[in-house]
Structures are given as structure tokens and as C-alpha cells.
Amino acid sequence: MLDTQTVDELKSIVRAENVATGQQDLLCYSYDATQMEYLPDAVVHPASAQEVAAVLALANRKGFPVFPRGAGSGFSGGALPKAGGIVLVTTRMNRILRIDTENLIAEVEPGVVTEQFQEAVEKLGLFYPPDPASLKFSTLGGNVAENAGGPRAVKYGCTKDFVMGLEVVLPTGAIIRTGGETYKGVVGYDLTKLLCGSEGTLGIITKIIFKLLPYPDAKKTMLTIFDSIDGAAKAVSAIIGGKIIPTTLEFMDYATLQCVERRFSLGIPPEGRAVLLIEVDGDRDLIEKQAEQIQAIIQPLGLVQFRAARDNAESEQLWRVRRLVSPSLRDVNPTKYNEDIVVPRSKVPDVIRRIEQIQQRYDIPIVNFGHAGDGNIHVNIMIDKEIDGQEEKAHQAIREVFQAALDLGGTMSGEHGVGLSKAPYIELELTPDQIAAMKAIKHALDPNNILNPGKMFPWG
């Protein structure tokens, strides 16, 4: 619990109207996209790096924890105030500071919403590819802190691949710059890369310099339906083995298709067992040729339908199938544990088979879809908590799903991060020496452990 004097000091830093301690305000910042909830003691909305620095300096002096938060759309509890203290919200720092069309870079504050940034650069004929499905509400600061990815990561990479430099307030309150505006730079450790994906545990990002690309000339979307999961999974490696790197290669299994079809009747043929939604972009003539090559490559793999969009409107129709997945899933069961394992893309068929065995062993529905092009599968374990024993089964199944990914040379999470929800499993993937090295970095930067404590590692 914060004492009155501390609350007054916070008010003198960010002004009284930007500090909330009322129960209703606290409730609004007590949850994210997981189903966990923790109530903070106060919510603080700073407007600049200097204000963030003053809040962190105060936190060190008084010994209260600070939990950075963007839009609170995280899937691993990273922004949740598990130890009380304050939630520091970045949404007042929401300016696009500049878009430099000569050097193809942009500088933004962390609270800018991802889609608004994309639209702003697209108006100038430029392209910011990272496209998490949460882009309508997630913040760029949250995207950097989680190294968010999306369907276009197959060709373009994730958020960190576009971050050139940062302004960061370190846990002790020092403001530093990392990286910069040059495409090359090798002086000192690469703190930019260290901070990308650090889940708000090493510093609070207050400015970001992004690299931009020219907007692609054209795109071509294809919805391809296979008579087996194996066929669809093999198609992923076959396309890339055929030296075509699509912009997106999205996978949906039979359970996913059934959910969507039951609700929205999209005309998926009855023999369809899996879908790949494929998109290529670039030069208009090249993408037409690539679409033909892709059809020829996947034809022998049990292809039962190939629909290619002729224009943007048809492309939107095909993407609808993918976008309807999330709203359809709750029909299976009310509670969803959404994991996002990654395996080398050639191992996608093996991991899907392992997940099928886990589903049979525990007798709970598991629905798989995701970014097969980079081996990132969203494994949705759907349970009804009212049914006795289902929650325990789900946790055992999650552990086995993680183990399956690791056995195949993969990782437990490609996008959602560790936060609170995966901290108990991190020792499955990282050795004690790796964890000790990471904790040493955390301790060096945050000696009083005031920034986002309790996240990432089992602190014990």
C-alpha cells in the first residue's frame, strides 16, 4: 500500500489528474488479455521520459514496484501488478514525432497505437510490416517490449527487426539512448536488441526509431484447402523449399475450420481438413508468376481447393476466414489457454502429430492455427473450468505441448512472451547458467528489483 505522502509526490511529478487511486480506476488496470487479475495501489500516466525517470527515482527511494503498461493486450500477464505498487501507463506519450521519407525511418513515442502508425507511414507510400493481430489497440512500446510478430513475419521479421534505436528510462531513473538512425553501428553492446523483448523488466521505452520500407507494389492472396493436416504442413516447407518466401503462410487445422464453418458457413468443402492462407507481395508480374508456381508445388500434396483473389476486395474475403477464427473458438469451450510454440518449419507436421496425441491422452479439445510459415503455431487448449479436473488436465497438457516443441528444436513462445504465465515453465527451455546470466543483467540494471518484479523468471 502506498502512503499518502508517496501518492502526493507522484501527483507533483505528473500532475494530480494523472494519478488514479480510486477503486474503479484500479480495476481497469488490474487485468490484460490473460485471465489473471491483480489490483495496483495507484495508476500513473506520465507524459515524458523526464516524468518516467522521476517516478522511477521515487520508486527506488521508497521501494515500491512499477509495472509498465501500454494497451494491456498482452497474453502473458507482463503488465500485471502482481506485487501491488503502481501501474505506469504509456498512452499519454502517443505522438508520431517524425517520418523521414529521405532516410526511411520514423521516430515515435511508445503509446502510439500500431495501426495508426502503419496508416500514417502508408499515406507516404511507406511500409511498417510488423502486424500483430492486436494492431488496432496494441501500442508500439508494448510491441517492442514483447517483440510482437504477426503473419508478415515470415518474409519481413518481427518488431525487433525494425527497431534501430530507443530512448529508455533505466530502472534507476537514468535516461539513455541506444542504437540510432544509422543502418550500421557496432560501438558497445547492442542494448537495443537486449531491450526488444525484455517485457518491461529492464527499462521503460520512451522513444523508438523504426526502420521503414517502400510500400510493396501489389499483393496476391490465396486460400488453399488440403485433405489432410500433413499435406498442408508439408506444403509450407515445399513452398519455401521452392525458393518462394511468401509474405504470410497462415495455417488452420480441422478443429479451427469446423469452428469457423459452424458459425459463418463459408463453404469449406467437406473433405477439407486444413487450410493455408498464403499471400505474396512485390512486383505485380512476379507475384502472378509466384502464385502459379505455388499452385503447382502444392497440387500433389492433397490440395482440394485453390482460391486466388483477383483484387483487394476478394483478398479481404479470403482473410475473413482467418479473422473469424478467434470469435468462433469460444463455441468449443468457455476458457482458452492460448500458447504460441515455435518449431523449425520443417517440423510443423511432427509437432501437430504430437499435439494430437496430447489431445487424445487428456481428452480435451485443442485447436491449432497460426503462422506456419515461421513454424509459430497457436495451440489453443479449450476447457470448461466448471468441469472437475479440466483445469489440471489443461496445465499438464500445456507442459507436454511445450516439451514437444522443445524436443523438436523449438521454443515455448514466439510472440506472447513469458510474463507471469510462462515463468513456471522457463526452466524447461533455459539452463540454470542461462537463467543466472539473465538474472545478473536484471540485477545490474535494477539493483532494487523495482521494475516489473516477478516476471520472466521463477524468482522464488
Minimum CB distance to ligand FAD smaller for 74 or for 85: 74
φ, ψ for residue 206 (rounded to 5)?
A: -115, -15
Among 40, 46, 68, 173, binds ligand FAD (CB under 6 A): 68
CB of 319 to ligand FAD, least distance (A): 14
The set of residues, in sequence order, having a beta carbon less than 8 Å from that of 338 and lying 6+ positions away, is: 75, 378, 379, 380, 416
Residue in 45, 69, 220, 234 binding ligand FAD, rule: CB under 6 A: 69
**Interaction residues for ligand FAD, span 203-262 (CB under 6 A):** 204-205
DSSP secondary structure code for residue 162 in this structure: G
Question: Under rule CB under 6 A, which residues in 129-168 are in contact with ligand FAD?
Answer: 132-134, 138-139, 141-143, 145-146, 148-150
Place of cell 521463477: 458
Does position 291 interact with ligand FAD (CB under 6 A)? The reply is no
Question: What would the grid cell of residue 149 be?
Answer: 510478430
Q: How far is the CB of 168 from ligand FAD (least distance, A)?
A: 8
Rounded to an integer, what distance in angstroms lies between the CA atom of residue 233 and that of residue 346? 8
Number of residues that bind ligand FAD (CB under 6 A): 36
Of residues 74 and 272, the one with the C-beta less far from ligand FAD: 74
| Interacting residues with ligand FAD between 410 and 449 (CB under 6 A) | 415-416, 419
Q: Exposed, middle or buried: residue 161 (CB in 10 Å: 0-12, 13-18, 19+)?
A: middle
Q: Which stretch binds ligand FAD (CB under 6 A): 128-136, 186-194, 268-276, 383-391?
A: 128-136
Residue 336 CB, nearest distance to ligand FAD (Å)? 11
Q: Give the start-end residues of each E strand in 22-63.
A: 42-44
Which amino acid appears at position 142 of this protein?
A: G
- Is 202 or 301 the residue whose CB approaches ligand FAD more closely? 202
Q: Which of residues 176-205 bind ligand FAD (CB under 6 A)?
A: 199-200, 204-205
Nearest-CA neighbor of 160 among 168, 175, 149? 149
Output 302 or 414, the one with its CB closest to ligand FAD. 414
As measured in angstroms, the least distance from the Cβ of 134 to ligand FAD is 3
Q: Where are the alpha helices (DSSP H) in 147-202?
A: 153-156, 191-195
Q: Does residue 63 come out as left (phi exceeding 0), alpha (psi in the -120 to 50 range) or beta?
A: left
Q: Give the phi and the psi of residue 307 in degrees, each rounded to 5.
A: -115, 125
CB of 72 to ligand FAD, least distance (A): 4
CB 209 within 8 A of CB 128: no
- The site map against ligand FAD for 107-126 (x = CB under 6 A) is ---x----------------
**How far is Cα 412 from Cα 424, in angstroms, rounded to an integer?**
12
Output 231 or 414, the one with its CB closest to ligand FAD. 414
Task: Verify binding: residue 79, ligand FAD, rule CB under 6 A.
Answer: yes
Neighbours of 131 (CB within 10 A): 20
Selected from 26, 44, 71, 175, the binder of ligand FAD by CB under 6 A is 71
Tell me: does residue 90 bind ligand FAD (CB under 6 A): yes
Q: Following DSSP, what letter does each residue of 255-302 receive, concatenated? A: HHHHHHHHHH-----TT--EEEEEEEEESHHHHHHHHHHHHHHHGGGT
C-alpha cell at 309: 483473389
Q: How many CB atoms neighbour CB 430 within 10 A?
A: 15
Q: Is 72 in the site for ligand FAD (CB under 6 A)?
A: yes
Residue 65 lies near ligand FAD (rule: CB under 6 A): no
**Residues in contact with ligand FAD, shown as a per-residue x/- string from 7 to 36 under the rule CB under 6 A:** -------------------------xx---
List residues near ligand FAD by CB under 6 A: 32-33, 67-75, 78-79, 90, 110, 132-134, 138-139, 141-143, 145-146, 148-150, 199-200, 204-205, 415-416, 419, 452
